[in-house]
Structure formats: C-alpha cells, structure tokens
Structure 1
C-alpha cells in the first residue's frame, strides 16, 4: 500500500465542479486582484472566526509582516517567540531589523511555555508572537495576561491552526493580531500562496489594508511604507469554496487523529490536546527514538513521514548573530531530534490508518 501524505488530489476531486466554475468566473471577469471574490472571502473569514477585521493577503509570511509593520516595529525592538517553529515566524521579525527573543516550549504541546515568557521581557520588548503549532493554540489567557501587564501586543502565528478553538474562541480571534496561511498543504489550503491577517481594531485593519498595497490609501497616494501583499481573486474564490465545508474537514481530521491515538502503541509519545481547546491537526506529530531508522523503515512500506522541525531557530546559521548556543533551549532541542509527523488529511481511510499504525508499532 502507498500512502499519500497530504492527499491534495483528493481535495481537488471533492470540489472539482465548484473549483472549475469559480476559476472560470474569475478568468472571464478579467479581474484578478482585490475584487469581489476577495471581498466575499474576507467577509466569510470574519463570520467564521468571529473577528470583524479580516484581511486576505499573499501568504502567511506576509500576514506576519503586515502585523509587525502595522505596529511600527523597527531596529532595536524585541519580539518574544518560540525557537521551535517554521522559519517565517522569526524571519519576519528579523526582516524589519528587530530582534527575535526565544523562549523554550512546553514538551507536551510543543507550544511556547507561557511560564517562561515574563523573564524574557526587557524595556525593548514590543510584542509576543506565540505559534499555534501543529494545529493547537498555546496558553493564550496566560500570554494575553502577561502582554496586558507589560503593555505588549500579541501576534498569534496561526499558520497551522485556522479553525482551532480555545475556550470557545476561534484561532485568529484571541489576540491583538492573528495571522494564518493558506499554503496548499495547510488544513485550509488554496492552489498557490495565500494568507490572512486579523486585527482587533479598525485602525490597525485600515493600516494593514493600505500596507498590503504599498501603503496606498487611494491610487498613487501613499501614507505608509508598505508591500505588494495582496491575495488574488482566484485563490480567494477557491478558498471560499473550501471554507463552506471546512468544519466538516476539521471533524474528519479530528477523527483521523483520534484513530491514530487509539492505535499507536505507547512506545511513541503521542500528541496531547488540552481539555479547554481543540486542534485542527495540521500535523499528527509523535516522538520516537532513532527517528531516521523509523522513517526509513516506514518509507520502505510506502508510508511517508516528515519532520517539523529538525533544527530549532536558535541553531540556524542565519540567526547565529543572536548569540544563542546549543543547550540554551533544551526542550526544543530534544523535540527537534525526536518529532516525526505521520500522514494527516481528511481523506485517510481506516484501512490506511491501520496499515500505518500496524507498521509503525512493529518498527518502534
């Protein structure tokens, strides 16, 4: 049996007629950027998350940049974040000349350890940027309380958690800003690059709306230094089709995750979702010893795996100027050596899950 890791082809087939119709509609309109499709999708994003201020943009990375730019982040500022994440989180901070300040993670959830944040705050700290890794939000109440105490913003990097719930509130509606990605392999993915940024007030929303079009408030009138960060109408139309049934996709992902958790032996460390929140399972990530050996054995059985992420940010060459060394964030370093993501998508069948878990249990 050969397993498809993300099953993007199945996602297309499930909505083929709708995808082709809306794609043709966009092409026939000859209006490709910032049109009716994008506006409609933004309205539906607001309805879905409960956040009034939703803005489509060109990628999850650009969503983070827009939030930071709206805050006026610049050289000398510090942003607290996690070293156990995709590079875009810290990269966007560095792109603006600011300094990423890393805080280690909670070993059970892989999210930033809120109990360690306060000790990292200095007079230069401007924001906390927690990552909702693998589909589950971190301890947002604790993080928001710290931010309020020190008058800081909170920017949720929700690239992997769109649709997740924390104490009754949706991801992207729990902090000052929420930023998500619609990269094709995300739980809600388009057919190219795309993202969205959410704000809690109209002023930030209007500023980011201008900044995604080079700071333009009307044609050739620029109030801000901005960027070319627009979401195109084709991607917006495709995303809108998928958003209409996205809750069902989340339920199917959760069913796959539950089946995995029931069938994988205790020789692997299985993911933990806290009782007061849900996960959209962007990844189903376990921890195993001798990971390379396990991955190789699974691949021989036609079972693909992935490592998210093998090198923590503080050990990446591009961040060597920050002065961190091996041992600074031991939990992140340990997890980076052991994490392994199994195939995860809404289309995995029980026979495929049985095949994956039976082979995994034999190997570990």
Structure 2
C-alpha cells in the first residue's frame, strides 16, 4: 500500500455526512455567491482569532495580495520576506507591483531571522511579510518593534499556521493584517481553494471588501481601482465553517503524531523539528533534515512511501524570479536547508499503523537499531 505525505480520504469518510450537508445547505439556501455561509464563516473565523474582521477570498495567494494592497502596498514599493517559503508568497507580493526583498532564516527552526530585517529596510520598504512556516510562529514582537520604528506595515502569512500560538497569541492576531490559505492540505483545509484575510483595522477591512469585488461598494458602482474578482466560494465557506469547529481537534491529533515521530526517531541521524521557546506548534508539516536527503527519499519510494520536500528550490533561485537579482550563496542558511529537508506524512487522520511503517522504513534506511 502506498503511503503519501498527505491524504484526506479517511477524514472524508469520517466527516462525509457533515461535508455533504454543507453542500446541501448552500444549494438549498437560494444564495450561491456570498450569502449566509460566507457571512457566517467570516464572522466565526474572526471570532476564533478575536479580531474584528475576516474577509474571505478565493485563495491564499490573493489573501496576501489583497491584504498588501489594502495596507497601501503598490508599484515601486519593497516588501521584506523570506525565500524559504512557497512561491505564492512572493507571487502575491509581485502581483501588487512591489518587489520582494529577502532575509535569511534561522537554521534551527527555519523561520525568518528577525535580526536581519532592520538592515534590509530601505526608503522604499513598505511592508514586512513574516511567514509562519510549517506550523509555528515568527518572533512577532521583534517584527512589530522594527516595523514601528520604521513606519512599515506588517502582514502575517499564516497559510501554514492555523491555530498556532506564540506566547499565547494566535497566528494572525499579531500583525496589522494576516492572510490564510484553506487549500485542502492545510490544518484547516477546504475541499478546493479558499483564503481569507483578517484584521482589526476597519479601513483595511473596508478596502479588502472592495478589492475582492471589482472595487465596488454596493452593486455595479466601482469606487476604487484596481479591483479583483476574488470571492470565497459559498460551498467552501460552509465546509470551512463546519470544520472550524473541529480545528482544535485537528491540532491535537497533529501534535500527537509529531510526538510519536519524535519518540520513534529520536536516536537516528535525522534532525527533527525544533519548537522555539514561546511557540505552540501545530505541525502543518513535519520537516526533518539529513545531508543524504535524496538517497533517503529514493529508499522510501522503493518501499511505497511517497514524501515531499518543502521546499526544494528557494524562491530566490528560481528562474521566474531572476529579475530580483539574487545569486546562489546570497541566503546561505536557506540554501543549505533546501538541500537537506523533507517532510514526513502529516495529517490529522494519519493512523498509527501507517506512521509506524514510515518510522520503521526510515530506521532501516538510516541503519538505526
């Protein structure tokens, strides 16, 4: 039996009645676009984070892009972020007309090295996008202090951190705005694409609602350009609304899976995830390191275990971003991690038997007794 890094079918089997009930609720509501399901999800997701506003959009990329535009980012601006992230983070920045500027990450937890941020700020810097990678949070106290000193905006990229906390504060509630993806693999995943941007700022929320709907206020009257067609699908909103009630259960299950990996692989040569002091990790991904990464992946594939690398190519090394002017060696920690990291299967419905098979296969390949 093939074991994949992610699978949703067991979860769907357990939640099928609720998921199909969500579809029926929307189809029978008389409102297929926006409507009570979108309104309800926005209200409940905002309440979960104890913020005033949630604006649902069609995907996580646009949650970042529209969030930045609502914060005033545009052509000619610079936005500081990391290269050790999914490409959509940078695609969204570029979509505003701004330019991404990268700082390196820390070797221990793979998160933005906040000690490098201040020196990266220029007169063109408009915003910082810290990426809460793999399920734990960047030091937002440091980011916030730097942003305040220089008068720049902060948008958290929370695509991988639903439910994560730092010193008690939820990911998404520590910046001026925060962007979430509900891609199916996420800790809170839809059955298709979806995203949202949350904020406590009334003006930012008002701008977000215009931006996602052609720049309109009311019907057919455009008050702001650019505008977009970027609405959260009502079916996905209703599914997310129901799954949100189980988010804390998903996180608990992921933490137990992470505990079993840590116990089963503690005496191997793998570098296991480090949880930074003050962080409460939700383990969107369980990322390990080894200098013989590709050999290990080949050995696992031969045993029917198909894993993933997040991410094999740092954004600054991709040909599509060559115009940013970075060279190999500019971000040495990011580049070294990219050669060594890989992800073990991690999803809330992963059963113990499959996890044990992965652990046993890794121990055989690594020669651990």
Assess if the C-alpha contact under 8 Å between 1:187 and 1:282 holds in 2: yes
Q: Match of 1:222, SS? A: coil
Note the residue ranges of structure 1 that are not aligned, 5 or more in a row: none
Whole-angstrom CA distance in 1 between matches of 2:143 and 2:127? 11
The answer as to 2:273 corresponding to 1:271 is yes
- Count of aligned pairs between the two proteins: 364
Task: Tell me the residue number matched to 2:256.
Answer: 255
- Deviation per residue, 1:50-88 (Å, 9 max, x gap): 112111111100100111111232221100000110111
Whole-angstrom CA distance in 1 between matches of 2:45 and 2:56? 9
Task: Tell me the residue number matched to 1:363.
Answer: 365
Assess if the C-alpha contact under 8 Å between 1:216 and 1:222 holds in 2: yes
Shift of 1:337: 0.6
Note the residue ranges of structure 2 that are not aligned, 5 or more in a row: none
Task: Tell me the residue number matched to 1:54.
Answer: 54
Shift of 1:3: 2.0
Task: Tell me the residue number matched to 1:243.
Answer: 244
Task: Tell me the residue number matched to 2:94.
Answer: 94
Aligned mate of 1:322, from 321, 324, 328 = 324
Aligned mate of 1:344, from 332, 343, 346 = 346
Which deviates the most, 26-35 or 247-256? 26-35
Which deviates the most, 94-103 or 24-33? 24-33
Assess if the C-alpha contact under 8 Å between 2:4 and 2:307 holds in 1: no
Shift of 1:352: 2.1
Task: Tell me the residue number matched to 1:354.
Answer: 356
Matches within 5 A, 1:305-316: 305-316=307-318
> TM-score scaled to structure 1, two decimals?
0.98
- Deviation per residue, 1:19-78 (Å, 9 max, x gap): 111211211234211110011111110121111211111110010011111123222110
Matches within 5 A, 1:159-170: 159-170=159-170
Whole-angstrom CA distance in 1 between matches of 2:72 and 2:15? 41
Whole-angstrom CA distance in 2 between matches of 1:174 and 1:94? 24
Shift of 1:299: 1.4
Assess if the C-alpha contact under 8 Å between 2:5 and 2:343 holds in 1: no
Shift of 1:4: 3.8
Task: Tell me the residue number matched to 2:291.
Answer: 289
Whole-angstrom CA distance in 2 between matches of 1:83 and 1:253? 26
Task: Tell me the residue number matched to 1:147.
Answer: 147
- Deviation per residue, 1:163-201 (Å, 9 max, x gap): 101111111111011001000111111111001101121
Shift of 1:310: 0.8
Task: Tell me the residue number matched to 2:203.
Answer: 203
Q: Match of 2:34, SS? A: coil
Whole-angstrom CA distance in 1 between matches of 2:197 and 2:297? 35
Which deviates the most, 305-314 or 217-226? 217-226
Assess if the C-alpha contact under 8 Å between 1:54 and 1:199 holds in 2: yes
Whole-angstrom CA distance in 1 between matches of 2:91 and 2:25? 37
Assess if the C-alpha contact under 8 Å between 1:304 and 1:342 holds in 2: no
Whole-angstrom CA distance in 2 between matches of 1:268 and 1:240? 38
Shift of 1:286: 0.3
Whole-angstrom CA distance in 1 between matches of 2:343 and 2:284? 10
Moved >3 Å (runs of 4+): none
Q: Match of 1:216, SS? A: coil
> TM-score scaled to structure 2, two decimals?
0.96
Task: Tell me the residue number matched to 2:14.
Answer: 14
Whole-angstrom CA distance in 1 between matches of 2:105 and 2:55? 30
Shift of 1:326: 0.5
Matches within 5 A, 1:5-154: 5-154=5-154
Q: Match of 2:126, SS? A: strand
Whole-angstrom CA distance in 2 between matches of 1:234 and 1:143? 36
Q: CA RMSD in A?
A: 1.1
